[in-house]
Structure 1
C-alpha cells in the first residue's frame, strides 16, 4: 500500500499555504494585542505605584504632625475631675450623710488642683498626699482622719482613702 501523492494536488498546497500564512498572521496579531495590553497594564501599574508612594509620603507627614500634636496636648493636659472613693466604706459603717460630707470636705481641700497641669501636680504629689492625710475632718461631733491608699493621676484625679477615727 502506498501513500497517495497529495503534495502534487494544488488544493492541498493552497490549504497548507493558507494554514501557514494564517498561523503567522495570527501569531503577529496576538503579539500586537498582547503588547498593547501589556503596555497599558505597565503604565497603569506605574501610575498606581506613584500614587501609592505619594499617599505613603502624605500618611507619614500626617503621622508626624499627629504625633507632635499629641505630644503638645499631653503636655497641656489638666486635671478636670476629682473622684474620691472610700476603701473601707462597709467596715466603718457611717451614714450616707457623713460619707457625703466627708467626700465634700476632701474635694474642697483638693479643689486647688482642678485645672492645673498634670506635670505640676505629679511633681507635688507628696504635698497633695500630706494635705489629705494630715488634715482632721470634723463631721458633726466626730473627728475623722484619712489615709491615702492609692492615687491615680490623669485628667481625673482618683484618690482611694481609708477612713480612721482621729485621736
Structure 2
C-alpha cells in the first residue's frame, strides 16, 4: 500500500523539529492585469500558496519557477524580476510518510516575479486541489501558512528584492 507524503510547516516555533537538510526552491509571485494574485490550494498540506517547488539538478532557479507554475496551475509564465531570497532558520518543513518523519528541511526559497504568457488555468490533482486568482484584499479569507504569507506580503509591497 502506497503512503502519500504530507508536509507540516513550522514558522517561528521553538518546538519545531531540528532541520536535517537544506534545499533550494523557487516560487513565483504572479499577478494578473487587475492585480489579483495566483494561488493554489496544496494537495499535501491543505493550505493555499503561490506556485513553489524544488530546484532540480540541471535547471536554473528561473526554469524551476516556470516549471513549477506550469505543473501546478497549467499556466506558462515569464520571469520578470525578484521578490526576494528567503532563507530564515525560523521556517522548517517536516516531510512525512504516515507517522514517520522522513526529512526536516530548512528551505532556501528564491521568490520570483512573473507574468502569464500562455496556458490554461487548471489544477494538477497531484499538486493542487484548486487554483484561482485572488484579490489581495481577500487574502485573509484563505488559509495561508505564515512563511508563504510573509513572501506574499513582501511581494505586494513591491519595495525591491528582500534578502533574508
TM-score (norm 2): 0.28
| Larger RCO, structure (CA 8 Å, separation 6 or more) | 2
Point out the structure with the larger strand share: 2
With normalisation by structure 1, the TM-score equals 0.27
